[in-house]
């Protein structure tokens, strides 16, 4: 039920919604440039991807949970609690003194972020009429574009000038502004729905996804035994089967598996999963490549993401305008994924001595390829659904896209860690073999080439031990192994993108200007 608000009240409430969306989107990008320095300061390179994965996993799993809770409790209390939780966790993250502590606070952040995402889109539908929604929904893409443009640069600047903790301390007060606007202008009761909360489904979803990511993490590192990871993967798959069995039978499922019975919905969701993995892999590991391999500062490494975001924004807008005129979307999806695959393939080459301008061009091309896929896959699934199921179909696609980024980053982290350690000790200068294991372990940490302070420590330590002349050889070896690991990450992303291209090629070439298709039996049979 939509409550009547004055135009001024709608706009002020919408300001709070936009601020909440900005907080969520900014948090995903501002940490990218600072992440190498964070893991160096907290000495947790082996947990590098979890600084992102913990947030993404918590937000992804909690999005349908908060949505269901808001149907029972109303949007406003859930929204306000989410903003409060997000702001508090953001501030606390700045005080983390270890990687496990940082990951814990990032997980709490993700829970709050899930509430921000789910409540923002639901609230817009509540406070605006159907004629107004199209106008105001357009601001959402603008907010994400602005945050993606500003996030890496702000994160890099704050890290270089003040320290990485300030990226959390500076953004946390923005939560107070969002909280004020929502508390002051958002009606206390906008919407109440019916149906029971699927608590069993929520639990099964969590217990299937968390072990999956833990198993991917266990597969990283030298001499890591695959047995525990395989056992965990088997358990995760078993719980996932129970989850889908349960969701087929429950009245209000968290993720409705019946959507996957429709070939187009299944194809579009799987392709979204794969392309999202490639996108988040680029966002996380391009700055690491610039800092660890090319020796760039956090600010400069953050700037490498700017051309990627610009390219993504341009093609997303132009493709949408073009599709609205022609009615065809499949060709733009195929062109986008093709360009994305080529760009990731180029990044998998040896770019150690590649001109900086060339890397910027590749980043632009990658952004141009990613742009159309984000919005047009949503359009593809919406085209297949009857009007009364569009909301559920769209949220399912968002879930697959978020999970693609979460699983992808965890998988790439395992690939990077294993590649970095592979044969490392055999390639080290011979003078280091006589040093203690503790000293060698710290000297061979990737932090030596991502943090100037660690490099300075390594130089002074080796000089004090009378082997200062091997410093250059040590740094060269570390950069070669990190380069190999990052190249394999981008190669893995290119392979996933290629699979997505094959999947997208079987999408039907629908004309949106044609009369609507009859509802698919797989969708209508849901209930």
Residue 67 to residue 59: CA distance in whole angstroms: 12
3-class DSSP state of 328? strand
Residue 259 placed within a domain: no
Asked if 44 contacts 52 with a C-beta cutoff of 8 angstroms, the reply is no
109, 234: one domain: no
92, 212: one domain: no
172, 211: one domain: no
Residue 45 placed within a domain: yes
> What is the full per-residue pLDDT of the chain (527 aa) written as tens digits?
445 667 777 778 888 888 888 888 787 778 777 777 888 788 776 676 677 778 877 887 787 777 767 766 777 888 899 999 999 999 999 888 888 888 899 989 989 988 887 777 667 666 765 445 545 554 666 676 677 667 777 887 888 888 888 888 888 888 888 898 888 888 765 445 455 677 888 888 888 877 876 776 666 544 456 677 788 888 888 998 999 899 888 877 777 787 778 888 888 889 989 998 888 777 778 878 887 777 776 667 667 777 887 787 778 777 777 776 777 778 888 999 999 999 999 988 877 777 778 888 888 898 888 888 877 787 777 677 665 555 567 667 777 887 888 788 778 887 888 888 777 777 777 777 777 777 777 788 777 777 777 888 888 888 887 777 787 888 888 888 888 888 899 999 999 999 999 999 988 877 766 544 434 444 444 44
Name 351's Cβ contacts closer than 8 Å, sequence gap at least 6: 289, 293, 358, 359
59, 184: one domain: yes
27, 132: one domain: yes
21, 153: one domain: yes
166, 76: one domain: yes
187, 40: one domain: yes
154, 33: one domain: yes
Q: Quick one: tokens of 375?
A: 């919005």
43, 60: one domain: yes
30, 82: one domain: yes
Chain centroid, CA 409 distance in Å: 8
Asked if 464 contacts 458 with a C-beta cutoff of 8 angstroms, the reply is no
Residue 318 to residue 329: CA distance in whole angstroms: 12
**Residue reference for tokens 């493709």:** 319
75, 205: one domain: no
**Residue reference for tokens 């992440």:** 35
Sign of CA dihedral 342, 345, 350, 353: positive
Residue 160 to residue 259: CA distance in whole angstroms: 47
Residue 30 to residue 90: CA distance in whole angstroms: 12
The whole domain housing 153 covers 1-197
Domain count, the chain: 2
């Amino acid at each position: 039920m939509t409550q009547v608000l004055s135009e001024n009240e709608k706009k002020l409430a919408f300001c709070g919604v936009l601020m909440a969306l900005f907080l969520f989107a900014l948090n995903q990008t501002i940490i990218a440039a600072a992440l190498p320095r964070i893991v160096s300061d907290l000495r947790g390179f082996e947990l590098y991807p979890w600084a992102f994965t913990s947030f993404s996993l918590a937000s992804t799993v909690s999005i349908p949970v908060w949505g269901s809770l808001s149907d029972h409790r109303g949007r406003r209390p859930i929204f306000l609690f989410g903003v409060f939780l997000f702001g508090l966790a953001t501030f606390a993250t700045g005080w983390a003194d270890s990687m496990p502590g940082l990951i814990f606070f990032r997980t709490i952040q993700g829970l709050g972020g899930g509430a921000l995402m789910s409540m923002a889109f639901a609230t817009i539908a509540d406070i605006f009429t159907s004629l107004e929604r199209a106008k105001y929904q357009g601001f959402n893409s603008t907010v994400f574009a602005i945050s993606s443009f500003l996030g890496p640069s702000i994160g890099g600047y704050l890290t270089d000038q003040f320290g990485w903790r300030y990226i959390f301390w500076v953004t946390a007060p923005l939560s107070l502004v969002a909280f004020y606007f929502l508390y002051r202008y958002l009606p206390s009761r906008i919407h109440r729905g019916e149906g029971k909360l699927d608590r069993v489904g929520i639990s099964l979803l969590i217990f299937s996804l968390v072990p999956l990511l833990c198993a991917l993490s266990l597969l990283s590192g030298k001499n890591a035994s695959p047995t525990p990871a395989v056992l965990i993967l088997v358990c995760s798959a078993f719980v996932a089967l129970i989850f889908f069995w349960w969701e087929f039978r429950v009245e209000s499922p968290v993720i409705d598996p019946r959507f996957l019975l429709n070939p187009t919905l299944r194809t579009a969701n799987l392709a979204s999963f794969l392309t999202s993995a490639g996108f988040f892999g680029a966002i996380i590991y391009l700055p690491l490549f610039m800092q660890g391999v090319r020796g760039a500062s956090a600010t400069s490494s953050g700037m490498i993401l700017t051309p990627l975001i610009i390219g993504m924004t341009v093609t997303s807008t132009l493709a949408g305008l073009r599709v609205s005129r022609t009615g065809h979307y499949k060709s733009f999806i195929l062109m986008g994924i093709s360009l994305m695959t080529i760009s990731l393939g180029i990044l998998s080459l040896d770019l150690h001595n590649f001109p900086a301008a060339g890397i910027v061009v590749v980043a632009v091309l990658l952004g141009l390829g990613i742009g159309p896929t984000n919005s047009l896959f949503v359009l593809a699934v919406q085209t297949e659904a009857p009007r009364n199921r569009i909301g559920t179909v769209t949220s399912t696609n968002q879930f697959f896209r978020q999970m693609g980024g979460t699983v992808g980053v965890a998988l790439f982290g395992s690939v990077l860690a294993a590649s970095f350690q592979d044969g490392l000790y055999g390639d080290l200068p011979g003078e280091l073999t006589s040093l203690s294991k503790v000293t060698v372990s710290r000297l061979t940490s990737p932090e030596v080439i991502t943090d100037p302070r660690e490099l300075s420590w390594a130089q002074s330590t080796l000089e004090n031990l009378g082997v200062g002349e091997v410093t250059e050889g040590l740094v060269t070896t570390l950069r070669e192994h990190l380069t190999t690991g990052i190249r394999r990450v981008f190669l893995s992303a290119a392979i996933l993108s290629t699979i997505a291209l094959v999947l997208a090629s079987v999408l039907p070439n629908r004309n949106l200007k044609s009369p609507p298709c009859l509802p698919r039996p797989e969708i209508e049979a849901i209930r």
